[in-house]
Structures are given as C-alpha cells and as structure tokens.
Structure 1
C-alpha cells in the first residue's frame, strides 16, 4: 500500500513546489519508502559525501595543525553568524556553534542565575513547563537543587505549549529566568515568542528559548523580538548529522555579564597565552569551553548553503503545505486518531502528533518496512516533515502506510 502511485493532489503539489529541486540533493536511503522523522534527525546531503572526506584529506590530512590558523579557529563564529543571518534574525557576533544543546542550556541558564542573583538576591525561581523536553527539565531541577532555588512549573494543554497568559501566571518578582521551547517537541506548538518574551522580561527575568524544533523550520527574529538568549541543536532541520554541535545565541547587550560556568581555553581572551589567569573573550566567544568540533560542522555548513539558497520564508511556506496535506490525509484515512497538535497552521511548527492506541506497535512495524515516523509515549505518532528533503508524494506514501499499520 505504501508504494502505490501518488494521488493527483500529491502530484500537483510536487509539480508546483518551488523547492522541489532540493529534495534530490539528499541521500535517498537504501530501503527508504517514506521518512517522516526529519524533526528528529535530518537526512544528509549528497554533497556531504564529498565535502566531509575532502576536509579530512585536504585540511586535516594536508594542512594538519596549520589548519587551525587557516580557518578552524574562527569556524564556530562564522557558522554561528550564518545561522543567525539565515535562520534566527540575528546580527553577527551573537551566535556561536559549540558543544551540545544540553551543555549550552546549562551554561546560559547558569549564567542567567549569576547575573540576576547579582542584581537582586531575592530572586529565587526558575520557570519551565512540566511537559518540557526532559533535558531542559533535568537541567532546571539540578540547577535549582544546587543553588537553593524553586522550580515554578507551568501546565499547558497537551496539544499546545506556552502562551503569554500562562507565562504571566508563572513569572513575577522572584523569577530569575524562564526556559521554554519555541516549538514544542511533542505537539509542535509554535509559541508566540515575542509576546512570551515580553511577559517574562517585564517581570525583570531573563528569557531563554530552546529552539531545537524551531530553527530551520519556522522563521525566527530573535533580535527584533528582544530575546535574551536561545539555544538549539543542529541535527534536526539543520541536518548537521548525529551528535552535531549545537548553537547558542546571546543578545549583545548581555555579553559583558555573560559568565561562562565552564571556562575553557578557547573562551579566553588570549587562548594561546597559556600561563595567564582566565579572562573571558570579548563577545559571544566567551561562551566557548573546549576545542571546536571541526568535522561535526561540515554537514551543517553544507545544509546552510541550502537554507540560504531557499530562504526561510519559502521553507516555512512549504512546511505549512506539508503539514496541512499530512493532516488532511490523517483525517481522511485514520478516523481513530486524535490530533495532539495545533490545528491552526500559524501556531504549528514543522511537525504534528496524532494519538492512537496502536501507535507503538504500528511504528515498530513501519520502521522495518522503510516507513519512519516517530513514536512518543504513551500513544503518540509524531510526523516530522523537513521541507527541503520531503516531497508531497513521500508524505502520502507514509501516511497511507501509517493508516494501514494502525488499522
């Protein structure tokens, strides 16, 4: 059933797709019928099959340690600026590629605690959703435990996420910082980020956004929205590959007070002095701790070429069409499913979740057949559609196969 010819509607959508040429630039996969998990791990570009070995051969093998002076030392900042310009609406000098999402969230939240406690010692609360991504919750709880703080939990509907109204109920004159997802990992809820940011900041607190499911999926304007800090991974819609380094954004107005809790040599003002006490680098580089993961940045750079070429507005337009098409197929073919995502496309990111009692067994069987959605406990099927690598015909194959498996 999953290999049937595409419907007239799918064929028409693919024929009219201005980004259709990008789809064939990705590695197709040996047994792949439909990939519906681009919001978990993006597919590699064919180009990366050439660029990664070339970096190993020519730069690592050919130039060896000289390559650090020939570009590697500034690679994290240059890639950060490209992410900022193409995806975040961020001026240069505010975004850097480094370490993992987990480590960067910890660093920025710990820096926020130091900055706000230094101004007002009575502030003793961190705010986070009760159903936030586990890593985010774990970090908030550990920092609260280590610094004698209180966690203020926010409850949101399962098919939604943080709203300005919910944020207003949770923050106050005791709040140090709030940590929310720009696009919720389970429901796909795209928060009203500028409004929520304003609510948090008016309480005197700092706003930290986890943009892992937002970057490369929805247009972001972090500078214009007045965002304080943001973090995101690069292996979802940025297609950097498994374990690719994450990125962090900090508005330039915060750089002077940004105290890195894990100081490292490349975050120092004079990294090669070696014998002097630690003095943080100027600007966003002070957030760096260890040596840049150069090989882990190669695929990310290749994908940024695609994003820059397509433009985030066009990517978002296709994303809306993909999720609307998938939702129409779910409603037509899977009557026993319930939507656990926003029905309003303006509040939905690049993925949607449906609940069905047979979800776990269906997803397990589909993976063996080359149809790959994502299971989320207890009964959710998450359908992640990366616009540059996904066709409408592929979506249709995947949803038809899912309907058959669930039934």
Structure 2
C-alpha cells in the first residue's frame, strides 16, 4: 500500500504544472513544511533583493533613494500588485503597517461613516486580533461588539449594526465564508463590511469588487511569503475614498506631507490610509513574494491546493486512520489547510515536528496542516500522511517531551 501511495504521488508530481516553482524557494533538506499558512517559505530571490536594498539603495544611495530607488511610492506600488490578487483596483490597496493596525483604522473609519450605529458584528472564534480591535474601540465608547454564530450572522444584521467584520477563511477550521452573500446582506441592512483576507490572499481567488466589498485587510507573511512580520495591506473601495477618515492621522497619510504644516489634511484616495513612514526593507521583501505569487497565478495555486488536500485525505483514508476532520469536507468550501481535532493534538504536532513534518497546533485541540501549493509536492503530502500514521499508531506522541508546552509553539 505504501509503495502504491508513493508511486501515485510521484505520478501527480510529474504532471504538476507548478512543480518548477519549488526550486524558487529555499527549503531545508529533510523538512516537510506544512505551516506556510502561518509563515510562508523564503523565496530564493529575496536575499539578493534585500542585499540590493541594504547595500546599494540604503548604503550608497542614502536618503536619495526615497526618490531614486522609488521608496516613496513603495507602499502604493506593492499595494497595487496585491490588488490584482484580490479583485481590487490598483488605486484601492496600500501596503504597510500590521493587520491589527489596519483593522483598527478601518473599523474606526466605518463607525465614523455610520454615525448613530455602534455595533460591530462578528462571530465567536474569529481570529483574536480582529475581536481585540473591536474591544479597544468599545472601551473608548465608540463601538459595541456583537457576536453571532456563523449560521446566524445574517439574522443578526439589524439597524444597529454599523460594520460586519469577518475573516474570509477561518484561521482554525479553514471554513470559507460566502463573501458576496454576506456583503449583500450587510448592505441591505445599511451596514458596511470589512473582510480579513489573511488566510485567503495568495491561496484562494478573491474578488472584492465583484462582491461589492467595502474594506479589507490582510497580512504579507503567510501565502504572500513576505517574511516574518511582513507589512500588511489595506483595501478601501474607491466609492468610499472621499468620505473615509481613519483615526491614525500620521504624516504619510497627509495630503502634503513634505509641507510640514501643523494641521492634518487627508491625502486623496487610498493614500489617506497610510500612517507612518513606509517600512522599506519589509516592503522590498514582500514585493518579491507578491511578484512570485502573481507570476504563478492564484487560480492555479488554488487548484493545486485543493488537489493536495484531497490527496492527503485519500492517503490517511488508505492507511485506515479515523481522524476527526473539522475543516469542511468539500475542498471548495475550505481554504488551503486541513484541521483535525484530537485531545492530544499538541503532542501529536510536536512528534511530527521532531520527524521533520512541520504543521501547527491551535488551542485547545486542533492539529492544523497548511498546504502552500507554490512549493509543496504530492510526495511531501504522501510522506506527511505516513509520518502521521506512524506517530498515531506507535503512540510516540505520548512521550513527555512532546506533551510539555513552551511559551511559543
């Protein structure tokens, strides 16, 4: 059986139109990396680009590089490249700050646009920072947090709701929301919508303008392979630009930042979502990852992602493993991951990592395996399933060193 699974994996790899792209990433020997949905792998072109920015643009060009090397337009340039991955116009996306900061800016802006309403509606179990940002505004008396279960979100939309805030792909289960239907329902109730695309962008097709979305944010270090703590991005539909006022009125969001006036005047268009000075080193690394994803194409990445996850499920089924899948069984209804529930998921995850199979754990009992299609092979998937079967069947996950939790896992 094992030989047949491996043979099938190699057949699929031989027919994979994306197989050449694996060589464009730096991957450690002997590691099967199933955590690209937390931190993407390093593109081989990134170190050279960083060297160029540091030694030439910064080291030799010094401050002149704000103009000569195009630093001043980096946030808009990289944002425009991300826009093509999420169904937005180039003038509707800007890169910079963190996902959390961009969430705060856009939640506050939406509340300002819906004065008289204070409710920000989300779901329990949404990614924590999304809920924490609402809570921060709630403590200031500007917002009121309301949570409704996934299946009851539409009925929770009423005349008090200013904003619907949801993560497109759930970070823990991988379940995908119907963006168009929920956006339409929110608009019918007079509310705006903010989508968190952190687990979507670069892995799934997204059409923000097709869904008539109002706002969106996303991070740059998962499927966009921008590196740890890479700059995030923010989207605002063009129809809102003239009335959009965000609370972090830093100088890069000013209409004339180099006039150094005492009073704030928002920049026209998407630039008003900028705040402080652009993080040039981070943007340079992110631009490499975004360019690589754009070259491959999101549709092709999504197709391979579905094939990889379906193959993994077939492999574990062939090995007779009865796993509690919490992700939607239909690959069209989940993101680029599979999540399984087990009361000892943490220990199982650690045992797999010790074997060189890097997935991750999410409290309280979720083993999460990400399928980053740009650099994963079907052979990797077959081998990961083998290791998981051996860990479960041998009981090695019961060893004490795998059950002790550290501060960072």
Q: Which residue of 2 aligns with 1:103?
A: 101
CA distance in 2, matches of 1:106, 1:83: 20
- Give the structure 1 partner of residue 43 of structure 2: 45
Secondary structure in 2 aligned to 1:226?
Answer: coil
Quote the residue 1:15 is aligned against.
14
Corresponding position: 1:24 with 2:10: no
Partner residue, 1:396: 382
Tell me the residue number matched to 1:72.
71
**2:404 aligns to what?**
none
* Contact 1:167-1:200 at 8 Å conserved across structures: no
In structure 1, the partner of 2:397 is none
Shift of 1:357: 2.6
Q: Which runs of 5+ in 2 are unaligned?
A: 394-409
TM-superposed deviation, 1:190 = 1.4
How many Å apart are 1:406 and its aligned residue? Answer: 2.7
1:142 CA displacement: 2.0
- Report runs of 4+ in structure 1 exceeding 3 Å deviation: none
Which secondary structure does the structure 1 equivalent of 2:329 belong to?
A: coil
Whole-angstrom distance in 2 between the partners of 1:144 and 1:193:
26
Indicate if the aligned counterparts of 1:177 and 1:206 stay in contact, CA closer than 8 A. Answer: yes
Corresponding residue number in structure 2 for 1:320? 306
TM-score (norm 2): 0.92
Give distance in 2, aligned partners of 1:277 and 1:151.
Answer: 32
Distance 1:190 1:269 in 2: 38
Distance 1:101 1:148, change over 3 A: closer
Q: 2:134, 2:143 within 8 Å by CA — same for their partners in 1? A: no
Q: Please report how far the alpha carbon of residue 64 of structure 1 lies from its aligned counterpart in structure 2 after TM superposition.
A: 0.6
Partner in structure 1 of residue 134 of structure 2: 140
Question: What is the alpha-carbon distance in structure 2 between the residues aligned to residue 147 and residue 224 of structure 1?
Answer: 34
Deviation at 1:9, TM superposition (A): 1.3
Tell whether the 8 Å contact from 1:83 to 1:95 is kept in structure 2 after alignment: yes
Shift of 1:312: 1.3
2:188 corresponds to which residue? 202
Match of 2:274 among 288, 312, 317: 288
Q: Matched residue of 1:7: which SS?
A: helix
Partner SS state of residue 257, structure 2:
coil
C-alpha contact (below 8 Å) 2:5/2:315 kept by paired residues:
no
Question: Deviation at 1:340?
Answer: 0.4
- Rounded to whole Å, the distance in 2 between the matches of 1:326 and 1:206 is 38
How far did 1:270 drift? 0.5
- Tell me how far 1:222 sits from its aligned partner: 0.6
Please give the root-mean-square deviation of Cα atoms over the aligned residues, in Å. 1.6
Does structure 2 conserve the Cα–Cα contact (< 8 Å) formed by 1:39 and 1:385?
Answer: yes
The whole-number CA distance in structure 2 between the counterparts of 1:50 and 1:6 is 38
Alignment of structure 1 residues 132-171 onto 2, 5 Å? 132-147=126-141, 149-156=143-150, 166-171=152-157
The TM-score, its normalising length taken from structure 1, stands at 0.93
Q: CA deviation at 1:375?
A: 0.7
Secondary structure of the 2:339 match is strand
CA distance in 2, matches of 1:12, 1:102: 43
Asked whether the equivalents of residues 131 and 155 of structure 1 are also in contact (C-alpha less than 8 Å), the reply is no
The alpha carbon displacement at 1:148 in A equals 5.3
Aligned counterpart, 1:159:
none
Structure 1 pair 185/76, CA: closer, same or farther in 2 (3 Å)? Answer: same
- Unmatched 5+ residue regions in structure 1? 157-164
Q: Is the 8 A contact 1:336 1:356 kept in 2?
A: no
- Does structure 1 residue 219 correspond to structure 2 residue 209? no
Match of 1:387 in 2: 373
CA distance in 1, matches of 2:357, 2:349: 8
Shift of 1:37: 0.7
Whole-Å separation in 2 of the counterparts to 1:75 and 1:148: 33
Q: How far, CA to CA, are the matches of 1:74 and 1:11 in structure 2?
A: 44
Superposition map of 1:231-310 within 5 A = 231-310=217-296
For the residues of structure 1 that align with 2:388 and 2:95, how far apart are their CA atoms?
37
Instruction: Specify the SS of the correspondent of 2:387.
Output: helix
Q: 1:28 to 1:209 in 2, by over 3 A?
A: same
Structure 1 position 334, deviation (Å): 5.9
Secondary structure of the corresponding residue to residue 44 of structure 2 = coil
What is the match of residue 401 of structure 2?
Answer: none
Moved more, 135-144 or 145-154: 145-154
- In structure 2, distance between residues paired with 1:220 and 1:96: 17
Query: Is residue 353 of structure 1 aligned with residue 339 of structure 2?
Result: yes
